Each structure stands twice: as C-alpha cells, then as structure tokens.
Structure 1
Amino acid sequence: MKGLYSALLVPFDEEGNILESGLRQIIRQNIEEQKIDGLYVNGSSGENFLMNTIQKKKVFEIVKDEAGNEIKLIAQVGALDLKEAIELGQYATELGYDALSAVTPFYYPFNFEEIKYYYDAIIEATGNDMIIYSIPALTGVNLSIQQFDELFKNEKVIGIKYTAADFFLLERIRKAFPDKLILSGFDEMLIQAAVSGVDGAIGSTYNINGRRARQIFNLAKEGNIQEAYERQHETNDIIEQVLALGIYPTLKAVLSTKGIEAGSVKRPLAPLDDDSLEKVKELVSKYNL
C-alpha cells in the first residue's frame, strides 16, 4: 500500500449529479498521465461530505469498474452515522477495494473510547484493513501517540493518513511504529514528510501535479534534498495560487482545460467566475499542467 495516491476529484453537473463519463476521464488521466500508484476515493477532495449514501456508492462502483486492478484503491467510508460508515465499508470491501479509511468522528466532542469503538465496529463488520484518517484542522480531533498505539493494537489498523503539520508527532509515530503505513496528507509539505520517513502520500493536487510530486518524493528519499526543494518550491507556487482561487473548483478547471469533463463543484461550494477562469488558464500555461 506504499506510494503516491491522488485524492480523487468527483465531477458534478449544476444539479449536483455525478458526471460518470467525466469521473472515468479523471481516473484515466490519474493513471496514464500522472502515473499515480493509487486512488483515495470519497475523501475531502471528492466532496464526500456533500454527497448522500447512494452517490458515495456510485463513486465507489465507477472507480473500481474503471481502475480495476491497475492501481491500489482506498475507500474513505467515514461518516457521523456509524451505520452508514459500516454500510459503505461493506460495499467497498465487496467491490474489492484494497483497504478502507475513515476520518475520525467529528463535530461532537467524542472521547477516545468512542473513537476507538467507531473504528473497531467498522473493521469488525467489514473484515477489511483500516487506515486512520487524521486531519485535526477539520475535525478538531488530535490523537496522541498513546492513542495511536491503542488503535494499532487492532491488527487490521494498518496505518494512518496523516494530514497534520505536527512533524514532531510524525517523527515519534514513525519511530514507535516502523511497520505501520504512514501516508502524508499535506501536498505543500511533501518533502518534509518524505524526509521524516513516510511511506507515501495522498494529495488532491496530484490530480494535476502528480508527476512533480513523484519527483519530490523520489529525490527526497534518495537524499537529493536541494533538488527536491526546488521541485517543492515550484509545486508550492502552484498550490498557493490554487488555494487563493479555491482548491476544488480550480483543480477541476485545470482538468477542464485539458479537455476532461471535470464538471463543477457541489453546492453550496461555489464555481469559479470568469476572471478566476482566466487565471486558471495562465496557471496551466505557466507550469505546463
């Protein structure tokens, strides 16, 4: 399960319906052009928390049908409704996904025992491997190394998607659990994560910038830090502009310039205006995206 994964984008029409043909095109360009090792499906970048259960299942089905066994597939099934999370986990497992992932329960102030119960329940019901999705900035859940240790006692918890800027904790986790999978979730800090010993990364910008991400990761692992930083600086110039315009509509707009049916974002997220779309064209031209 090591390697670089695109956090898959999902295209929608103006009514919020999934554009199946566009989704298949995005999958193919991730595989054939960006050369990613796998897809992280129905995460934040897929606007998962704006979709209903039927739509989430449809995405899982389309992705597996299109990608087959060409790459690794991780199904993010986390939901506030544990019953839905289990239902999605069982569905993705039956489809043949290589592993599940689930965001930590959020919004309500869940204690650790409740969080552990959530993961254990999904694993027990599905029998699949689990990758903890830790993203404190959006969930407010900061797991300690002792709590990760407790979660790892379930042998089906094989690793973490680590989307946090605490590199001290990352180093402590890497040292304490050398056999667990750690996938970094911050595209703009890939070099720092690679130097810290992660096994790979999951990124939304890899949908358009996967080749540079590969260069950064490989160079850092080989010890070519200066050259890796040069690629990271260029990548972060791109990311800075993408974030300024709005990450999900901008990534879709970049794909649209390549002739891909990338659709729109799902409301209440807002599409780009004409001025922003012109800036996207400039971005694509400048960085050869």
Structure 2
Amino acid sequence: MKTKLGGIYSALMVAYDEDGNINENGTREIIRHNIHKMEVDGLYVGGSTGENFMISTEEKKRILYIAMDEGRGQVKLMAQVGSVNLKEAVELGKYATDLGYDALSAVTPFYYKFDFEEIKNYYNTIIEATGNYMVIYFIPSLTGVNLSLDQFGELFENEKIIGVKFSHGDFFLLERLRKAYPDHLIYAGLDEMMLSAAVLHVDGGIGSTYNVNGIRAKQIYTLAKGGKIKEARELQHTTNDLIEGILANGLYQTIKEIMKTQGVDAGYCRQPTKRLSEEGIIAAKELAEKYL
C-alpha cells in the first residue's frame, strides 16, 4: 500500500465563476495542468484548497466526479470526505468509493470539542460504511484538534487507517510517528517544510502550492530521499520565497492567478474569500515571472 499510494499530491484547486458556481471546464483544466505540467503523482480532492468547507454536499460530489472522470488511470486519487456532519462524511465516502477513489481522507471533526473516543468512532464509522482505506487529515492549526502518538496508535489499530496527512509543525511528533509506525503512510502537509519532512522519510506530500510548484516539490522530495541535501535545500529556499510571496498576497487567490499566467482558466475563489485587487493581480504575475 505504501508503494502504491506514496508520492506528491496536489491539494486540488477548484475553479469557481464570478457568482461562486463550479466552473467545470476550468476545473478540468486545473486537473490536466496538475497531471501533465506539474507531473504530480496524485490528486487530493475535496480538501481545504478546494474551498471544500464552503460548498454544498452536491457540489462536493460534483467535484469528486469531475476529478475522477478527468484523472482516472493517470494519477492516484484520494478523496477528502471529512465533515463535522458525520452523515455527510459517510455519504461522500460511499460516493467516492463507488467512483473508484484509491483512498479516502477525512479531517478530524472540528469546532465542537469532541473527545478522542468520539473522534475514533467518527473514523471507524466512515470506514465501516465504505470499506475503503482512510488517511487521517491532521491539521490542528485549523481544527484545534491535537492527537498524541498513543492516540495515533489507537487509530492505526483499524487496519483500514493506512496513514496521516501531517499538516502540523510539530516535527518531534512527526519523527516519533515515523519511527513507531514505519508501515503507515505519512504525507507532509506543509509545503514550506517538505525538505525537513523528507529527511525524516515521509512517504510523500500533499500541498496547495503544488498546483503551480509541483515540479520543484517533486525535485526537493527526490533529492532529499537520495541524500542530496544541499541541492534540495537550495530548491526549498526558492520554494519558500515563492510561498512567502503567495501568503502575503492571499493564498488561494494568488495560486489561481498564477495558474492563469500559465494558461489555465483557474477562475475565482468562493466568497467570503475576497478578490485580488489590481495590485494583487500584478503581484501574482510578478511571483510567477520570478519563481516559476
């Protein structure tokens, strides 16, 4: 399973039109761009980068369908189905599994202060209903949910939970996870720390900036795995210069604007995310010219 599902995945962006509706043609362009230009190993569909927590269940299904229809047989496909609404998570998990997704992922249930038994039941319920593999989406900075090494171990007792998308800066916990669970998948979830994670022998990465910086991310990962740390470090420096500029200008809006400079109809972000100003559009183009 590690061999099959490892590698670099773009956290897939979704093109929306000016009214916030899914732009299907633009979304298909984004998928093709990731596969053919960024040369990613997989697509992580339905995550934060796709603005997933601002859209309806039916819209989430539509995106899952588009990604499978466009990407089937070309890259690995992982569906993020997590929701604070467990019934929705199960519904989406069944839908993605029926479509043929290689694995599911689910963000830890958030907002309400669920205890660990409730979190464990959430994952086990999705797995029992779908029969699919599960990758935990661990992003405590946004969910407020922390998991300990022992708690990860308890979750991993379910043989269908095959790994974790580790979007957290606690690299002590990352190292402990890697040592304790060598047979589970660990994906680096922080694009700016790919080199550091690769040195600890993660199995790949899942990131939003890979929609425009996927080639360089794969190079960092490959070089680090091959022990070529100096070369990887230089590429990480350049990557982080790019990321710093993107974050300062507006994360998702800027990535979409950069994709437009690369010939992709990446559309707009869904409200309440604001539009880029003219200055912001110019800044995005300058980032693309300088770093890509």
> TM bucket by the smaller chain?
over 0.9
Residue 75 (structure 2) pairs with residue 50 (structure 1): no
Aligned twin of 1:155: 159
Which residue of 49, 72, 79 corresponds with 1:75?
79
Between 237-246 and 274-283, the greater mean CA deviation after superposition: 274-283
Q: TM-score, normalised by structure 1?
A: 0.99
Structural RMSD (CA): 0.5
**Structure 2 residues not aligned, in runs of 5+:** none
CA–CA distance in 2 between the matches of 1:71 and 1:284?
25
Give the aligned partner of residue 181 of structure 1. 185
- Cα distance in 2 for residues equivalent to 1:99 and 1:128: 6
Tell me the amino acid that sits aligned with residue 25 of structure 2. S
**Aligned residue type for 1:107:** Y
Question: Which residue is 2:288 aligned to?
Answer: 284
Q: Counterpart of 2:68? A: 64
Equivalent residue for 1:191, pick from 188, 192, 195: 195
- Residue 237 of structure 1, CA deviation: 0.2
Cα distance, 1:245 vs structure 2: 0.5
Q: Does 1:230 align with 2:234?
A: yes
Q: Which residue pairs with 1:207 in the alignment?
A: 211
Alignment partner, residue 5 of structure 1: 9
Which residue identity does 2:238 align to in structure 1?
Answer: E
- Counterpart Cα distance in 1 of 2:30 and 2:84: 28
Q: Counterparts of 1:39 and 1:8 in 2: how far apart (Å)?
A: 6
Inter-partner Cα distance in structure 2 for 1:81 and 1:65: 26
Note the alpha carbon deviations across 1:165-184, whole angstroms, 9 max, x for none.
Answer: 01110010001000000001
Determine the C-alpha separation between the residues in 2 that align with 1:170 and 1:87: 31
What does the per-residue CA deviation read over 1:28-83, in whole Å, with 9 as the maximum and x for residues that have no partner?
01000100000000100000000100100000000000011111000000001100
Paired with 1:185 and 1:155, the residues of 2 have a C-alpha distance of 22
Q: Distance in 2 between matches of 1:146 and 1:284?
A: 43
Q: Alpha-carbon deviation of 1:257?
A: 1.4
Mapped to 1, the partners of 2:101 and 2:274 lie a distance apart of: 31
Correspondence for 2:279 = 275
Structure 1: which amino acid aligns with 2:22?
I
Identity of paired residues, percent?
60
* Number of the residue aligned with 1:14: 18
Report what 1:118 is aligned to: 122
Cα distance, 1:24 vs structure 2: 0.4
**Letter matched to residue 48 of structure 1:** N
Mapped to 2, the partners of 1:284 and 1:136 lie a distance apart of: 30
Distance 2:92 2:172 in 1: 34
Say yes or no: does 1:98 pair with 2:102. yes
Instruction: Please name the residue that 2:148 is paired with.
Output: 144
Provide the rounded CA distance (Å) in 2 between the counterparts of 1:158 and 1:91. 20
Match of 2:165, SS state, is strand
Question: Aligned to 2:137, which of 133, 139, 156?
Answer: 133
Task: Number of aligned residue pairs: give it.
Answer: 288
How big is the shift at 1:259? 2.1
2: CA distance, partners of 1:133 / 1:11:
23
Note if 1:240 corresponds to 2:244: yes
What amino acid maps onto 2:130 in structure 1? T
How far apart, CA to CA, are the structure 1 residues paired with 2:250 and 2:280? 9
Give 1:274 deviation, angstroms.
0.2
Counterpart code for 2:52: N
